[in-house]
């Protein structure tokens, strides 16, 4: 195969790689934001915040990025699945006393 025939294939490969890198950067930002929330709410270190997210992900069988997204939405709207909330509270308790705000009361 000559050089000219390989160029379009290489361009496609590079575009796919760029898309994957963009996704990784976005995912990293989401996880970092969730770690920040866990650090603030649970009064834990950033390393412990990462461990909490990882453990919640493992115990709920939900991808870490999805857990991070759920925690960010929880911070914005106050909604968090009761199952995830229970695992989050239990996990934070392992790292120190945590006072997670109660969900908003419904009339």
Q: Does 103 reside within a domain?
A: no
Q: Does 79 reside within a domain?
A: yes
Q: Which domain holds residue 83?
A: 3-95
As a whole number, mean pLDDT of residues 63-78 equals 92
Angle between helices 46-60 and 3-42 (to 10 degrees): 100
Residue 3, H or E segment:
helix 3-42
How many whole angstroms separate alpha carbon 107 and alpha carbon 104?
10
Q: Does 105 reside within a domain?
A: no
Q: Does 49 reside within a domain?
A: yes
**76-95 tens-digit pLDDT:** 898 899 999 999 999 998 88
What does DSSP assign to residue 106?
Answer: P
What does DSSP assign to residue 96?
Answer: S
Q: Does 45 reside within a domain?
A: yes
**28-58 tens-digit pLDDT:** 889 999 999 999 988 899 999 999 999 999 9
pLDDT confidence bin for 23, thresholds 50/70/90 = confident
Residue 97 backbone phi and psi in degrees, to 5? -65, 130
Q: Does 102 reside within a domain?
A: no
* Number of domains composing the chain: 1
Q: Between these two residues, 3 and 43, which has the higher pLDDT value? A: 43
């Amino acid at each position: 195969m000559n050089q000219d025939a390989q160029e379009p294939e290489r361009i496609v490969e590079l575009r796919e790689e760029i898309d994957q890198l963009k996704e990784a950067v976005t995912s990293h930002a989401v996880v970092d934001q969730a770690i920040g929330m866990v650090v603030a709410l649970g009064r834990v270190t950033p390393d412990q915040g990462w461990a909490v997210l990882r453990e919640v992900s493992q115990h709920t069988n939900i991808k870490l990025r999805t857990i991070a997204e759920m925690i960010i939405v929880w911070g914005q709207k106050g909604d968090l699945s009761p199952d995830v909330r229970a695992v989050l509270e239990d996990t934070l308790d392992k790292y120190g006393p945590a006072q997670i705000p109660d969900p908003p009361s419904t009339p």
